[in-house]
Chains A and B, each alone.
Chain A
């Protein structure tokens, strides 16, 4: 136990020496085995992407290659159907709302934990981990039961529930996604705050006469930028892929639900949208990874 405490208390003692060690490392052994593993992994992870792509461009009628499946993605939907852009924009809006609520809730809370009430850390961290124990498919049962109960009892709560379930922007999805994202967001922001000396920064800024808002936005936010971007991206990835809660609560507009309900005969359009959406998320994440990597190397050099 004492070892744990010591390590937790000195968060930034470890990361840097790894670079120096790596340079001194002897030539790696088991090279053949490594390449076999890497090639097999490559086939398994890239193969389905290539296969699915070639599936989407097969022309069953004339033979050869056709991109009609991709054209159909953006085609005007039949009346009564939701189009690709509608579903995508809907999910983007949901993720924007989720990110804003998450950051507004977690950043002040976690800064407070580090600066003022470190003894509350244990309970807050435990609470943020709860969504790992109660997965979405469990949480949605409780939410649905709660809705039924509120509906039966018609208290003052029912107008609140009607509002957050409202047709135009079902806030309830975003509100639930915030809790789903918490385990990951907590750790990301926590690592960010640990890597800067928040207490000293705040004391220095306060000593120089900065107000609390200045401290928050102009002193603490800039060094936490990477952590904030990472946390936001975690929320984004979660919302863009979330199917369980939205489908069980019968929301048809979020992107994955829309994708599942696509009326097709051959499945080509569904595969096309899947490939397209994966590439979209992959490119975004690689961009963020590259951003972090560059910042990391700059710090080292």
Chain B
């Protein structure tokens, strides 16, 4: 096991190029010792296998497994109870079901929501990161970085309640505007938290900081010499951004858009607390299926919906990784 792995990994290691290991390949005498070292990685591989790969395997299997339980009219001769026969068959019927009706709506909603928040969040995020990077106050930088780290992880239930208390139907801002200005967020602006606008507004709260976190190193990597060189060659500010900084940042920016898209695509807690089932999204539908809100025989719909999500997220993550690799050519 250890030996096969070490030989199959050889080409891959050169591609990743860790610590210049490609150049001093282990000599034949060291081979046994290296083989023993591979044993030390067994706990990690076993852990990932049991607590990650096995569950994912169940999804891939169950998504195509259709269970049909038929209550037949035959009684068991001993217990006199009706015999339920469960037949299973393989096929795409779960997948087909997961792309119909409310599940179709939820998929479209989720894709729309994620696209909107990814693009808007990325634009606001890079502006904020730019403002912070170019500030000369070390304190501001430190506070924004730390606060971004907190708020980027601050999804979930508390965030939803924060916004319900602020701009919800009985929120502070809502009632203040209503009482003092006679302006209603609900009837004048048609603003509701349980809509795509409302959920987008709340998602920005953790997506913009995420963008700041991933773009700050990239913006700091823009060398002042590049701007000076461009200026000495007669470039305007616009030329600098269009032909120097823009192209250098673009892969990173696009990658970050994908990162924001994926993280809003798979967010569940905030959406559930804000909208529940009133604005169907794929994650909330999955939770609803798992809690048993399905017809008999559709138990594996959850796996099919999960597979739908994987099909969306997997290619985006691969592109993200490729873009990150391209980024590291100029910025590190």
Query: Interface of A with B (CB < 8 Å)?
Result: 1, 3-5, 7-9, 14, 18, 21, 24-25, 28-30, 33-34, 37-38, 41, 44-45, 47-49, 51-52, 54-56, 58, 105-106, 108-109, 112-114, 116-125, 127, 129-146, 149, 175-176, 178-179, 237-238, 241-244, 247-248, 256, 259-260, 266-267, 270-271, 273-275, 277-278, 281-282, 285-286, 289-290, 293
* A48-B12 CB under 8 A given contacts A141-B59, A243-B156: no
28 interchain pairs, CB-CB under 8 A: A5-B17, A37-B130, A45-B151, A47-B166, A48-B163, A51-B172, A52-B162, A112-B40, A120-B41, A122-B16, A123-B9, A133-B313, A139-B55, A142-B303, A145-B55, A145-B58, A178-B47, A178-B51, A179-B48, A241-B155, A241-B156, A242-B156, A259-B157, A277-B158, A278-B158, A281-B150, A281-B154, A289-B149
Chain A residues contacting B128 (CB-CB under 8 Å) are: 37-38, 41
Contact call B303/A137, Cβ cutoff below 8 A: no
Query: Interface of B with A (CB < 8 Å)?
Result: 5-6, 9-10, 12-13, 15-22, 34, 37-38, 40-41, 43-45, 47-48, 51-52, 54-59, 62, 124, 127-128, 130-132, 134-136, 140, 142, 145-147, 149-151, 153-159, 161-166, 168, 170-173, 204-205, 208-209, 220, 223-224, 237, 262, 265-266, 268-269, 272-273, 283, 286-287, 290-291, 302-303, 305-306, 309-310, 313-314, 317, 321, 325, 328-329, 332
Chain B residues contacting A125 (CB-CB under 8 Å) are: 16
Chain A residues contacting B269 (CB-CB under 8 Å) are: 241, 243-244, 247, 256
Name the contact of B162 in the complex, choosing from A37, A49, A138 (C-beta under 8 A). A49
Assembled-state Cα–Cα distance A95/B130 (Å): 35
CB distance from B114 to the nearest CB of A (A): 12
CB distance from A105 to the nearest CB of B (A): 6
| Inter-chain pairs besides A18-B220, A138-B310, 5 sampled, C-beta below 8 Å | A119-B18, A122-B15, A122-B16, A267-B164, A274-B158
Chain A residues contacting B145 (CB-CB under 8 Å) are: 289
Contact call A143/B55, Cβ cutoff below 8 A: yes
Assembled-state Cα–Cα distance A140/B268 (Å): 12
Assembled-state Cα–Cα distance A149/B88 (Å): 14
Assembled-state Cα–Cα distance A53/B265 (Å): 30
Contact call A138/B306, Cβ cutoff below 8 A: yes
Chain A residues contacting B6 (CB-CB under 8 Å) are: 117, 119-120
CB distance from B103 to the nearest CB of A (A): 14
Assembled-state Cα–Cα distance A21/B133 (Å): 13
Chain A residues contacting B220 (CB-CB under 8 Å) are: 18
Assembled-state Cα–Cα distance A202/B171 (Å): 59
Most chain B CB inside 10 Å of its own CB: which residue of A108, A124, A141, A281: A141
Contact call B13/A121, Cβ cutoff below 8 A: yes
Assembled-state Cα–Cα distance A122/B22 (Å): 13
Chain B residues contacting A123 (CB-CB under 8 Å) are: 5, 9, 12
Contact call A142/B205, Cβ cutoff below 8 A: no
Contact call B19/A141, Cβ cutoff below 8 A: no
Name the contact of B173 in the complex, choosing from A25, A51, A271 (C-beta under 8 A). A51
Contact call B43/A105, Cβ cutoff below 8 A: yes
Most chain A CB inside 10 Å of its own CB: which residue of B34, B52, B151: B52
* A121-B150 CB under 8 A given contacts A21-B224, A274-B157: no
Contact call A282/B147, Cβ cutoff below 8 A: yes
* A4-B291 CB under 8 A given contacts A141-B302, A267-B165, A285-B150: no
CB distance from A174 to the nearest CB of B (A): 10
Contact call B48/A127, Cβ cutoff below 8 A: yes
CB distance from B136 to the nearest CB of A (A): 7
Contact call B171/A55, Cβ cutoff below 8 A: yes
CB distance from A49 to the nearest CB of B (A): 7
Chain A residues contacting B18 (CB-CB under 8 Å) are: 8-9, 113, 118-119, 121-122
Assembled-state Cα–Cα distance A136/B273 (Å): 16
Contact call B136/A141, Cβ cutoff below 8 A: no
Name the contact of A238 in the complex, choosing from B130, B153, B168, B224 (C-beta under 8 A). B153
Name the contact of A282 in the complex, choosing from B16, B55, B150, B283 (C-beta under 8 A). B150
* A117-B332 CB under 8 A given contacts A47-B166, A142-B55, A267-B164: no
Name the contact of B161 in the complex, choosing from A109, A175, A271 (C-beta under 8 A). A271
Assembled-state Cα–Cα distance A154/B58 (Å): 17
Assembled-state Cα–Cα distance A135/B60 (Å): 15
Chain A residues contacting B5 (CB-CB under 8 Å) are: 120, 123
Name the contact of B266 in the complex, choosing from A116, A135, A146 (C-beta under 8 A). A135
Assembled-state Cα–Cα distance A24/B225 (Å): 11
Contact call B59/A131, Cβ cutoff below 8 A: no
Chain B residues contacting A259 (CB-CB under 8 Å) are: 157-158, 161
Contact call B309/A142, Cβ cutoff below 8 A: no
Nearest A residue to B159, CB-CB: A274
* A278-B17 CB under 8 A given contacts A4-B329, A120-B9: no
Chain A residues contacting B12 (CB-CB under 8 Å) are: 119, 122-123
Chain A residues contacting B265 (CB-CB under 8 Å) are: 135
Contact call B16/A260, Cβ cutoff below 8 A: no
Nearest B residue to A29, CB-CB: B237
Chain A residues contacting B332 (CB-CB under 8 Å) are: 7, 14
Assembled-state Cα–Cα distance A278/B287 (Å): 26
Name the contact of A260 in the complex, choosing from B10, B131, B140, B273 (C-beta under 8 A). B273
CB distance from B288 to the nearest CB of A (A): 10
CB distance from A9 to the nearest CB of B (A): 5
